[in-house]
Amino acid sequence: MAKPSQLDLAATTDLCRLLGDPTRLRLLTLLEMEDLTVAELTKITRLPQPRVSTHLGRLREAGLVRVRRRGTSAFYAVDPRGLVGEPARLWRSLRESTEDPILAEDRARARDAVAGRGADKSWAESVAGTMQRHYSPGRTWESLARGVVGLAALGDVLDIACGDGVLAQLFAPHARSVTCVDRSPRLLEAAARRVGAASTVRFLRGDMHRLPFAAERFDHVLLLSALVHAEDPARVLGEAARVLRPGGRLLAVTLRQHEHHAEVERYDHVNSGQDPDELRGMLAAAGFEALTCDVTSREKRPPHFEVLTVHARRLAAPDDGAATNGNGRAHGRGRATKSRGTDRS
């Protein structure tokens, strides 16, 4: 039987799991130095505020951290009632045997943060340069997107591989028409429920490789997270060009080519993303002028997928490199790495 000051196997396992996370180790190290707010911890660690809050919550649940109120501010501090006995000995052992440049940088920034508390800074000034990583009430990516799209005057929009209609709902009030295409009847039903009775939106079952539309039908074509589901991305781009009016715009978002096949298998991807240079070549062959075709973000979580954003304009006449059949459909061939899954459009 364990002595009163000792932990049983389950409690020891839970404690090791709790203290085995690098973010929680960083937070505890800082809070031993000084009581700090979430905003200060976020600035010091340069981690997103939701992540810092989540780990502080775990430490509070375990009784290792508590909150103290000073006016309207909430300061987090190490709870001495929780760091006693075996937890205290384990934490002391980890702290004394661990040294890392990240911890040294954290400590230096913590000293600066405490020294600068008297400075007259607004919230925006305190997060200047990293504002996109911080939460503030009402300032979300969804609210920004809904606000910005209101500036656009859209014509006829085609959403290829529309999924459950998030984009259709966003664009419908600002477009002459929105046409949603997907191969999944279930997704189309969900999209119709989401959008409701908007008279400008229609839903069609179809294949992105063989779009059921006449040439030069649309002003804008959306391929958001669609190309990773394409057996032949070049043909899909050719079809997008075919149904766009001259001068029409293509917006595509896809993954940069990667080797993380196991991580995407459950999402039914049938290729491993696109190489930017090869994608530019496919766009040109399909009859597009690529305005943007670059990596625009890198995910923070492993395996750190990189995201390509494409803005392209359909040229008045297709390039000579775009081979077409009698129906005017482009038949460029892109490199696609096959894996299990189906084209969801």
Q: What is the mean pLDDT of residues 270-275?
A: 95
Task: Give the three-state DSSP class for 304.
Answer: coil
pLDDT at 256: 96
CATH topology classification for 9-118: Arc Repressor Mutant, subunit A (1.10.10)
pLDDT at 119: 58
Confidence of residue 89 (pLDDT cuts 50, 70, 90): confident
pLDDT, tens digit, 9 for 90 and up, residues 8-50: 667 677 777 877 788 888 888 888 888 899 988 999 999 999 9
Distance CA 208, CA 163 (A): 13
Q: What is the mean pLDDT of residues 165-183?
A: 93
pLDDT at 192: 93
Contact 149, 171 (CB under 8 A): yes
What are the tokens at 140? 């979300």
Q: What is the mean pLDDT of residues 214-242?
A: 96
pLDDT at 324: 43
What pTM, to 2 d.p., does this model score? Answer: 0.60
Task: Give the three-state DSSP class for 64.
Answer: coil
| β-bridge pairing 288-298 and 306-314 | antiparallel
- The sheet with strand 218-224 has its strands ordered as 201-205, 175-182, 154-160, 218-224, 244-255, 306-314, 288-298
Q: For the packed helices 101-115 and 38-45, what is the interaxial angle rounded to 10 degrees?
A: 140
pLDDT, tens digit, 9 for 90 and up, residues 251-272: 999 999 999 999 998 899 999 9
pLDDT at 115: 79
Please name which of 166, 184, 234, 191 lies closest in space to residue 343, comparing C-alpha atoms. Answer: 184
Distance CA 120, CA 82 (A): 35
CA 98 to chain CA centroid, Å, is 33
Q: What is the mean pLDDT of residues 243-254?
A: 96
Kindly list the domain boundaries of the chain, sorted by start residue: 9-118, 141-314
pLDDT at 323: 40
Would the pLDDT of 92 be above 80? no
Residue with tokens 């096959």, as numbered in its chain: 338
What are the tokens at 147? 């606000």
- Residues above pLDDT 90, as percent of the chain: 44
Distance CA 291, CA 282 (A): 14
80, with CB counted inside 10 A (0-12, 13-18, 19+), is: exposed
Whether the ω angle into residue 48 lies within 30 degrees of 0, i.e. cis, is no
Contacts of 316 (CB under 8 A, 6+ apart): 246, 247
pLDDT at 120: 53
pLDDT at 133: 63
Distance CA 254, CA 213 (A): 24
Would the pLDDT of 278 be above 90? yes
Would the pLDDT of 312 be above 90? yes
Contact 295, 253 (CB under 8 A): no
What are the tokens at 174? 């600002």
165, with CB counted inside 10 A (0-12, 13-18, 19+), is: buried
Contact 158, 167 (CB under 8 A): no
Contact 182, 344 (CB under 8 A): yes
Q: Does the CA dihedral 295-52-50-41 come out positive or negative?
A: negative
CA 165 to chain CA centroid, Å, is 18
Would the pLDDT of 310 be above 80? yes
Q: What is the mean pLDDT of residues 268-286?
A: 96
Mean pLDDT of the chain: 83
DSSP E strands, 79-183: 154-160, 175-182
- Residues above pLDDT 70, as percent of the chain: 83
Would the pLDDT of 6 be above 70? no
Element (H, E) at 75: strand 73-78
CATH number of the 141-314 domain: 3.40.50.150
pLDDT at 132: 65
| β-bridge pairing 218-224 and 154-160 | parallel
Q: What is the mean pLDDT of residues 56-73?
A: 84
* Amino acid at position 4, single letter: P
Would the pLDDT of 338 be above 50? no
